[in-house]
Amino acid sequence: MADVLPLVEARLRTTLGEPDARAAVTFLGTDRFEVLRFREGGIVRYATLGMSAQPMADPTAVVADPVAGPRVELLLSVRDGLADTDKVLRPLAVLAASPQVEGVVVAPGASLDVGEPLWPGAPFTSVLVAEPGGLVEDLELDEPLDPVRFLPLLPMTPNEAAWKRVHGAQALQECWLARGTDLRHPARASVSLE
């Protein structure tokens, strides 16, 4: 079986271009996680690399399957130059490590919270995991491995996160869409949730 991470990095480079920076974080008892930064046309994108090295396991399973199971990497896109968003590298690595550390399966519709601002002065401490397939296409792997999916992260204010817990991810996304919310603005205000 081929090593997954070089294939994942190749897909990111093919789609987003050459990264202009990368940082690595290793947490006790976990693999190494990298975050790559790509810049293009006033948008900076951060992509995790390392999360897909192992499949995510069902937290109720007695033994984790080393082959079968969903594989993902995370993508965050923000407008460049409006905030010190490079400080998001460690929070993104924390989120990427959550399947190994906490045994969670990261999937579209989930909320992920880092418990502190994503970057200095950010009004967001959590993100909504969006559907894959928009920016970076799924990476098919040889059988029996599941494909690697690239999941966009949409920053949420605490009010939006609380509203999402009650009404659901789709309702929040519809609310953002109806109000023309710029989800890439690193200092946007919470959307009106009435």
Query: pLDDT per residue over 1-21, tens digit each?
Result: 458 999 999 999 999 999 999
Residue 60 CA to residue 48 CA, distance in Å, equals 26
DSSP 8-state assignment for residue 125: S
Mean pLDDT of the region 135-144? 92
Task: Summarize the confidence of residues 135-143 as an average pLDDT.
Answer: 92
Q: What is the 3-state secondary structure (H, E, C) of 37-86?
A: EEEECCEEEEEEECHHHCCCCCCCCCCCCCCCCCEEEEEEEEECCCCCHH
Banded pLDDT at 69 (limits 50, 70, 90)? confident
Q: Which residue has the higher pLDDT, 67 or 106?
A: 106
pLDDT of residue 38: 97
Look at residues 103, 100, 133, 127 and name the one whose alpha carbon lies nearest to residue 113.
127
Please list the residues that pair with 46 across neighbouring strands: 37, 76
Cβ atoms of 77 and 45 within 8 Å: the answer is yes
Residues 80 and 85: their CA atoms lie apart, in Å, by 8
pLDDT in tens, 86-113: 999 989 999 999 888 888 899 999 999 9
